[in-house]
Amino acid sequence: MRVSARLLAVCTLAACNNAPLATTVTAPSPSPAPDVFQCAKNNLKPLDFDQTSYDVEENRLIARRFDYEERRPDVTFRRMVDRLEVQAVPGQGDAVTTLEITARTFAEYTTQRGPTEVEERASETALAAANKLLQRCKAPVDSTRVPG
């Protein structure tokens, strides 16, 4: 009986370790890819994310947010980094564009080699930001409207 309980515990732990670290959310949009990309780019600041890179030709960008509130019992721990990878892909079928957002979280440590990031499961903050951005940008965008 003890052997089967240990085997069950080992199998359970092994199953939990294979869970993906990043979480990707997608949604179709009736708007063209450049408009969806611009929407995502414009909505990063309200979510407290800063754009770090973008590729206009591929309609993708990467944004990050630092979390200085997280504490760890490790003297080399520096901060948490939430990262969003956004891509507006020309859609197939009924969707004009498919918006893909991947949420990732990294723990940043200070080592002798310099800053080192270790990927962890996506934080609730990163997941919430990805879902908010998805909700804001999957709606039809009026590209003919001139602001002001």
Tens digits of residue pLDDT in 101-116: 999 999 999 988 889 9
Among 17, 22, 24, 52, CA closest to 120:
22
pTM of the entire structure? 0.77
The whole-number pLDDT of residue 15 equals 53
Angle CA 39–43–44, to nearest 5: 125
Q: Are 127 and 105 in contact (CB under 8 A)?
A: no
Compute the distance between CA of residue 92 and CA of residue 23 in angstroms, rounded to an integer: 22
Q: What are the pLDDT digits (tens) for 129-139?
A: 999 999 998 87
Structure tokens at 110: 């200070």
DSSP assignment letter at 143: T
Contact 126, 33 (CB under 8 A): no
Tens-digit pLDDT profile for residues 12-59: 554 555 667 888 888 888 888 888 889 999 999 999 999 999 898 899
* Domains parsed from the chain with CATH numbers: 21-137 (3.30.310)
Looking only at the bridges linking them, the beta strands covering 50-55 and 23-29 are: unpaired
54-59 own/partner pairs: CB under 8 Å, 24+ apart: 58/87, 59/33, 59/34, 59/87, 59/88, 59/89
